[in-house]
Amino acid sequence: MKKTVLDYALKVKLPFTVFIILTSFAVTYFVAKPERDGVGYAPEQPIKFSHRLHAGDMAIDCQYCHTSVEKSRHATIPSADVCMNCHAVARTDKPEIVKLTQYYKEGKPIPWKRIHRVPEYAYFNHASHVVNGIDCANCHGDVREMDVISQVHSFTMGSCLDCHREPQKRMPQMIGNINNGPENCNACHR
């Protein structure tokens, strides 16, 4: 039997094209999944600290613990002695507080699992954002509702730039009070 062009198109070209299309979709789907950017990442912490309890119910200001968020590039995870300011007396019998006290007494730092991370060649500056009135929740979500802290927004360069280009979209309450963020490379990379 003589092979026709149609044969070739159906037997070779079509399956090949379909395969490429399917693979592309599959790869794109998995690569673009928000989980890949860490959204929803909520690992178990060495001490079951609840932001809902501290920041939500008791309404302790973020900066009571994250002290240098207005001063420095880093918001900083509090050192154990900050916890002990209260927990030297408060709820000392609870198992998690016993753990905390043990860390503190042994002089060991608490190995908190990291939730939010930008690559080391990106230099995010907390102070520059916070002093300009950008609320923590814009990036970190409403931690007052979280028992276990998790990542809510994507931390890719794309998501940084979305906001730098159109801040009013993410923060409609700040229209008129906020300028576009810088878009030049050196703003973050050095």
Partner 1 sequence: MDNNATKPRFWKSLNLLANKPESIESTRHEFQKGVTDDFDLNALPDKSRRKFLAVLGASAAFAATACSDYPDKGEIISYNKKPSGVVYGHANYYASSLNSGLGILIKTREGRPIKVDGNPQHPINAGKVDATAQATMLDLYDPGRVRYPVKKSDSKLILNKDEMPKTDWERIDKDITEKLKAASQSGKEIAIVAHSVKSPSQEKLFNEFVLKYPTTKFYTYEVFGNQNKLGAWEKCYGNKNLPVIAWDKADVIVALECDFLGTEGITVEQIKQYTTRRDVDNAQNFNKLYTVEANYSLTGANSDYRLKLSPEYQYDFIMALINEIAVKKSQSAANLDDSAMSRISQYSISDIASKYGLHADKLASMVDDILHHPTKTLVVCGNSLPEECHIAANLLNEVLGSVSNVYSDKYEVLHRPINTLAEFAQLSAKMKSGNVGVLIHFDSNPAYHLPREIGYTDALKSVETIVSMIHLENESSEGSHYILPVNHEFESWGDFMLRNGVLSTQQPVIAPIFDSRQKEAVLLNWMSEDYTKYNHDIYNQYIKAHWQEKVYPSANTFSSFDEFWYSCLHDGIFTWDEVGIPRAAFNAAALSTTQNSLSKSGFTVILTQPHYLGDGQYANNGWLQEVPHPITKVVWDNCAMMSPATAKKLEVAYGLDKLDKISDMIDLTVNGKTLRLPIMPQPGMVDDVIAVDLGYGRTRGGEVGTGVGFDAYTLMNKSGSKIYTGASVAKAGESYELISSQEHHSLDEDFVKDFHLKRHIIQEFTVPFYVEFEDKLEEAKSRLKSEFGDDREAYEKALKTEKIHLLGHHEYQNHSMYPDKEYPGVKWAMAIDMNKCTACNACVTACNVENNIPIVGKEECGKGREMHWMRIDTYFSGTPDEPITSMQPMLCQHCDNAPCENVCPVVATNHSPEGLNQMTYNRCVGTRYCANNCPYKVRRYNFFDFRNDFKDGYYRKDTLELLNNPEVTVRSRGVMEKCTFCTQRIEEARSAANIKGRKIQGSDVVTACQEACPSDAIIFGDMNDPNSKVSKLRNHSLGYHVLETIMVKPNVTYISRLRNTNMEDTHSGH
Q: Which residues contact 48 (CB under 8 A, 6 or more apart)?
A: 96, 148
Nearer to partner 1, 55 or 151 (CB): 151
Cβ 103 to partner 1 shortest distance, Å: 7
Cβ 151 to partner 1 shortest distance, Å: 9
Mapping DSSP to helix (H, G, I), strand (E, B) and coil, where does residue 43 land? coil
Cβ 168 to partner 1 shortest distance, Å: 20
Nearer to partner 1, 11 or 114 (CB): 114
End-to-end CA distance of the chain: 67
Nearer to partner 1, 17 or 132 (CB): 132
Residues that bind partner 1 (CB under 8 A): 35-36, 38, 41, 43, 68, 70-74, 76-82, 103-104, 107-117, 119-123, 125, 127-128, 131-132, 182, 184-187, 189-190
Cβ 179 to partner 1 shortest distance, Å: 12
Nearer to partner 1, 13 or 105 (CB): 105
Cβ 16 to partner 1 shortest distance, Å: 28
CA–CA gap between residue 16 and residue 106 (Å, rounded): 63
Nearer to partner 1, 15 or 43 (CB): 43
Please answer whether residues 66 and 122 qualify as being in contact, where contact means their C-beta atoms are separated by less than 8 angstroms: no
CA–CA gap between residue 131 and residue 54 (Å, rounded): 23
Please answer whether residues 65 and 79 qualify as being in contact, where contact means their C-beta atoms are separated by less than 8 angstroms: no
Distance of CA 181 to the CA centre of its chain: 19
CA–CA gap between residue 113 and residue 46 (Å, rounded): 8
